[in-house]
Structure 1
Amino acid sequence: MATHRRVPSASPTPDKVFLEACDVYFQHCHNKPYGFFNAKLFKIKASQNKIPLHLRLALIACATRYSSRSQWKERKQSTIDGYARGAWELIMSSPDGLDGNEDVSLIQTLAILGVIDATAGRRRGAWVKIGMAVRISQDLNMMAEPCSQLSGLEQDERRNLFWSLYLLDRFVCCSFDRPPAIKDSDCLLNLPTTHGSSKSATPLTLRQLRSQRSHDMSHRFGMFGISIGLASALGRAVKCMMTKTPNSHAPWQNDSEFLAIYSDLEYLKELAVKNSPVLAEPGQPRSQSDMQDTDREQTAHMVLSHTVYHLAHCILSHPFLLALKIQNFQHSEIPPAWLEETRATCLVHAGSLVTVLVEAKAAGYMPVPSVYSYCILLASTIHAFYLYSDSSAISASSAEYLRTALDYLGEISELWGNAQMMANALKSFVIQCSRYSDILLCHKPRLHELTQTETTILTAVVDYWTMMDPRNPVFDLAPFNADNFPDFSDTEFGYLTPPTSSALGGISSSGGGSDYSINKEGHSIDPDILLHYPVSMMSPIASEDGGSPRWDWDHELDSLVERK
């Protein structure tokens, strides 16, 4: 079979290609929300040619997603997957395997590849790579404070890298009976702190952060660290509501884990509000280009902290999950006032979560992490239950939130393919919700009336692990029929504008009001660069049926090893 190579007129050097990819990565991905690198240390290593090839390929794969070039639309994912596969095969084919030195580059590569696999629906591959990254970090004792012999930049990188793995671990474990790999009790290192601010953040461990409620609240806490605290509470909420192990106390009892998590969430939300960065003076919005890198990262973690706060509340009080929890105490008398207040609070948090993400995206402060697709899906399933409420105001509000959520998922689907998948799953789910609402929103939910198919669907739409799978059961068991989908513009549902600032606890996220579109004016990966970096990797072989070309990875990897 003949090999056909494309040769562009101007060939950038591999170094130039890699550096351009780095610019894109640090603008769009770094600390948003995962801080796998210390930017200064990375630049030093790059200038000294100390970035291993597997990490360079992983970075290019990650940066490729943020190109706005129209000619990439048809081959962007295949290019991402190609370079990610090249990075993985280099790791697996290394003579040393996973036994290297104290360098953390292997952890960084595995973490990036895990994110790429997860967003592409390759769940087991993501689970393996994230698990490997966690285990190697534990082998290097990164759950404790870094060795004092390391430079300050190295200590900062290791600390942020471990906590970024912690975030990733907690997000992919928003699932039934899927325990995280990192235990809170094993995390003895300080939380990330904010650099470059006028007032340094107080260094604390995760345990100390949770115990600070009885101390002086005037201390400054970094937003990244607060996000970690909220992710910890999220993990506890998932364990409380999405495991088969029954709790010893009913959720309405004062000594229950349910109320303990609720209390911790409110304490951490207070910290988030007090320590959030000032985004803009009234009437003087700041654009992305006007902001320093530290400002953008702080803002990204501010949005993350509020999003995780609302997500944890939505999981804690989700009508289906709450019904599952209540059935374990069916012989107890459920306090009507508690149940009514819990459901009302859940609906408020679902609306606030949608508002936070939509406003942050419209403000243009940050790209949209893939996990936010799941966050907005989960919140939307709550609104779907109330779509047919007897209250016309609640019904209209939920209809508008659903329309807004579907618009959001549609707009970011160019960036994340799983967003469109979740949008379609949400549409399929909404059609069935009149029956679900009748069963789940009564004083004593009648779970026994749900069929096995209905239970499977209800379980799937709140499970991040299931919804990452392109073959998830929602489509097979509840195929979407556009003829049955409600028209949110119809007078039956009316129009009610969602709140615009309360979701961030009084912090406005407006930054100009224009819709955010990835990379329209900023740095962009030129599609042609992947023809040159590394030069021999891009040798498409024409397919026999005349379709898209494939890549001769075995041949190309051999040549790469020779050139290293």
Structure 2
Amino acid sequence: MTEVLRSIGQHEPRQTNHVNSPLRQSGLTSTATRKISYDQTLIPSWDRVLDIARSYLVYCDCQPLPLFHRQTFLRTLDERDPEIIYSILALALRYFSNPPLNDFDDIPTAAASYTEAARGLVTRRVLGGPVEISTLQSLCLLSIIEFTNGNIHQATIHSGLALDLARCANLALDPVSIQDDVAKEERRRCFWSICLLRRLHGEEVHILDFTSQDCLPRYPKSTGEAPNIDGLDPSGIEARIVRRMKDEGIVSYVLLLSETFSRTAAYVKRRGKPNNFPPWSPESEYSKIIALQMDGETRMPYTHRFKYANLDERTLEDLQSNRDYWGPWFLNQFMYHTILCLLNHPLLLSLVLRNHKSVIPEIFLQHSSDMLASHTTWILHFVRYFAEKGFKVSDPFLGYCVAVVATIELQLSFTEDAAIRKNKQERFKTCTNFVRDLGKEWPHMAKMAEKLEALNGAVEASYVPYAQAQNKTLLIDLSRFWEILDYSSSVSDTTNSLFGPSLYLGSTTRVPEVSNTSPLPQPTRIGSSHSTPRQTPRNSNFMAQNVSQNMDTGLLTTPVDPYDDQFSMLAENFFTQGQDFIRNPEDWFSTGNL
């Protein structure tokens, strides 16, 4: 890394000779005289660069960012600015199977060197110009790299800088002066990639801050091949709806749903802090997010819905050869289900409902229980599907979605029903293994898997069955949950903070968030003859049979938190959730899907 910085910083700026360079100018590179120097010896042979770029197209393009014009990407690679080359090498190298590269002994060392080289060139452009489309594209790639390495401050600065530069450059507009369709499309892809990146990392992006409602930029074109639904009965209602709905491509619906996810991420950051509006109120953020998601779903064409994907009939070759479609499609599915898992997370709901414990409508409790049962099972279905097909997932955001489900399955596993506990623990293990496998390429997913294991140990150590809970004080550390549910904080490595001690006040050690409380009495349950009746009828609950799904589902027990502390929870209440959210976890796929 030091060698790279020396090669960038110690040479006098010179004009690059693009006649003999593989990085010659074109419509996608700078038209101004270059004042940026770089060390071409860092770049491996051009054949190897192309091999790594092909890996980028397979495993990184539209997984998640639709950053480049796919059809011309390889053909124009030798015409692009050097910071793009370095950034692509740094990101896609993890999927390249033939190291070493030049003088580098291993992939992490090479990737770190390419990252520093790209950052040095981008910094020079931002400070001295000219800033080009390549500058913003590189900032997007660098932000992903830093985020996945746990350097949240650097990642946020890179993506925030790209957003500010895009705003200053009017990137949201399609200027009439640009006649080249490829250049126009790449501008759109760059703009929307910046928005998607910010949203996935938990930052809200308001498009109307860039332009008016009448001048919203077009969504990028989707390049993958969507499922063929020509076999629909032409006289049926679905066929008539298909003919009526405009299909803007799967990438556009990912971008549409990402707005809902960013609002959900903001909801999670509040850590269930209660307010004057209960979640069933139309004025609550819970209801507004649900309404936004429903509105987005009405715009989703049948072409891209689960029903017509025919996943069971698809071979690994089908999926692998069309990853630029299936990558965004799976991202859309995971984002959709994760939003509803987060909104109905038993921990978050318990905290939100503290101020309304005596007036909770049973229909809301039934609704939230059913939503949780459905959407956690959908994500687990996809995880098992990937394993059965041997499909390699390369989008790290899917690992976060699975980690969210893991926290729910862990919480529900602490029950005195041995069969339920075993099933939930198996589901938790399935989720953790999926996240750990992603950690082979993405460092922040490896840390996420470690945090899930640590959370399992911490919660298990706090669990005391009802029969043993009399006259004992129980502790639950909720900070371990926030480290996973809040995506931006879940990958943060404060030891590598960008800021010095005179400015950054964040703690470098995790502070447990706990509360000392007394356990609740054993609740009364319908069908349990040995239960001791509860003296406070407002906290009673019942089991309901959902006929259409052939499953048992219960209601969320209303929590009691006398300390009203948003960072802690009565342990007995926490574990009561696992008793109440009882359901049949196997293959429930008739509802709740896109």
Q: Counterpart of 1:157?
A: 186
Q: Counterpart of 1:7?
A: none
| Aligned pairs for 1:315-334 within 5 A | 315-327=342-354, 329-330=355-356, 333-334=359-360
Q: Cα deviations across residues 162-203 of structure 1 (Å, max 9, x unaligned)?
A: 222222111111xxxxx4355566462122333576999xxx
How many Å apart are 1:111 and its aligned residue?
0.7
Task: Name the SS of the counterpart of 2:427 in structure 1.
Answer: helix
Q: Counterpart of 2:69?
A: 38
CA distance in 2, matches of 1:24, 1:215: 35
How many Å apart are 1:98 and its aligned residue?
5.7
The answer (yes or no) to whether the contact 2:87–2:118 under 8 Å persists in 1 is yes
Alignment equivalent of 1:126, drawn from 151, 155, 162:
155
CA distance in 1, matches of 2:439, 2:311: 32
After superposition, the Cα gap between the structure-2 partners of 1:331 and 1:347, relative to the gap in structure 1 and judged at 3 Å, is: closer
Q: Cα deviations across residues 113-133 of structure 1 (Å, max 9, x unaligned)?
A: 111111111111111111111
- The aligned amino acid for 2:277 is H
Give the number of the structure whose alpha-carbon radius of gyration is greater: 2
Matched, 1:238 2:265: yes
The answer (yes or no) to whether the contact 2:483–2:490 under 8 Å persists in 1 is yes
After superposition, the Cα gap between the structure-2 partners of 1:29 and 1:397, relative to the gap in structure 1 and judged at 3 Å, is: same
How many Å apart are 1:310 and its aligned residue?
1.0
CA distance in 2, matches of 1:54, 1:144: 25
Matched, 1:97 2:130: no
| Aligned pairs for 1:131-530 within 5 A | 131-147=160-176, 149-173=178-202, 179-183=203-207, 186=210, 188-195=216-223, 218-243=245-270, 249-269=277-297, 272=300, 274-276=302-304, 285-288=314-317, 295-327=322-354, 329-330=355-356, 333-360=359-386, 362-365=388-391, 367-391=393-417, 394-433=420-459, 454-470=477-493, 498-499=586-587, 505=593
Q: Cα deviations across residues 402-454 of structure 1 (Å, max 9, x unaligned)?
A: 11112212322211222221112111112333688899xxxxxxxxx986x82
Q: Cα deviations across residues 294-339 of structure 1 (Å, max 9, x unaligned)?
A: x321111111111001111122111222233223x44761223312
Which structure is richer in relative contact order (CA contacts within 8 A, separation 6 or more)? 1
Matched, 1:88 2:111: no
Task: Name the SS of the counterpart of 2:485 in structure 1.
Answer: coil
- The aligned amino acid for 2:45 is P
After superposition, the Cα gap between the structure-2 partners of 1:159 and 1:413, relative to the gap in structure 1 and judged at 3 Å, is: same
Identity %: 19
The answer (yes or no) to whether the contact 1:57–1:83 under 8 Å persists in 2 is yes
Q: Cα deviations across residues 362-404 of structure 1 (Å, max 9, x unaligned)?
A: 5355532122222111111011110013555543432221111
Q: Counterpart of 1:445?
A: none
Task: Name the SS of the counterpart of 1:454 in structure 2.
Answer: coil
How many Å apart are 1:261 and its aligned residue?
1.9
Moved more, 140-149 or 373-382: 140-149
TM-score normalised to structure 1 length: 0.69
- The aligned amino acid for 2:48 is V
CA distance in 2, matches of 1:430, 1:37: 41
| Aligned pairs for 1:7-18 within 5 A | 14-18=45-49
CA distance in 1, matches of 2:265, 2:350: 15
CA distance in 1, matches of 2:416, 2:204: 40
Q: Cα deviations across residues 231-267 of structure 1 (Å, max 9, x unaligned)?
A: 1111122233433886553211245332232233245
Q: Counterpart of 2:140?
A: 111
CA distance in 1, matches of 2:226, 2:480: 50
Matched, 1:63 2:95: no
CA distance in 2, matches of 1:268, 1:437: 40
CA distance in 2, matches of 1:270, 1:74: 52
CA distance in 2, matches of 1:281, 1:300: 13
Moved more, 414-423 or 57-66: 414-423
* Pairwise CA RMSD: 3.9
CA distance in 1, matches of 2:455, 2:364: 27
The answer (yes or no) to whether the contact 1:269–1:306 under 8 Å persists in 2 is no
The answer (yes or no) to whether the contact 1:41–1:154 under 8 Å persists in 2 is no
The answer (yes or no) to whether the contact 1:351–1:401 under 8 Å persists in 2 is no
How many Å apart are 1:291 and its aligned residue?
6.2
- The aligned amino acid for 2:333 is H
Task: Name the SS of the counterpart of 1:23 in structure 2.
Answer: helix
CA distance in 2, matches of 1:18, 1:34: 20
Task: Name the SS of the counterpart of 2:478 in structure 1.
Answer: helix
Q: Cα deviations across residues 442-474 of structure 1 (Å, max 9, x unaligned)?
A: xxxxxxx986x8232232221112211246999
The answer (yes or no) to whether the contact 1:120–1:418 under 8 Å persists in 2 is yes
How many Å apart are 1:17 and its aligned residue?
2.8
After superposition, the Cα gap between the structure-2 partners of 1:83 and 1:315, relative to the gap in structure 1 and judged at 3 Å, is: same
The answer (yes or no) to whether the contact 1:352–1:502 under 8 Å persists in 2 is no
CA distance in 2, matches of 1:166, 1:287: 31
CA distance in 2, matches of 1:364, 1:137: 39
After superposition, the Cα gap between the structure-2 partners of 1:354 and 1:199, relative to the gap in structure 1 and judged at 3 Å, is: closer
Q: Cα deviations across residues 59-95 of structure 1 (Å, max 9, x unaligned)?
A: 111121102358799832222111101111122245x
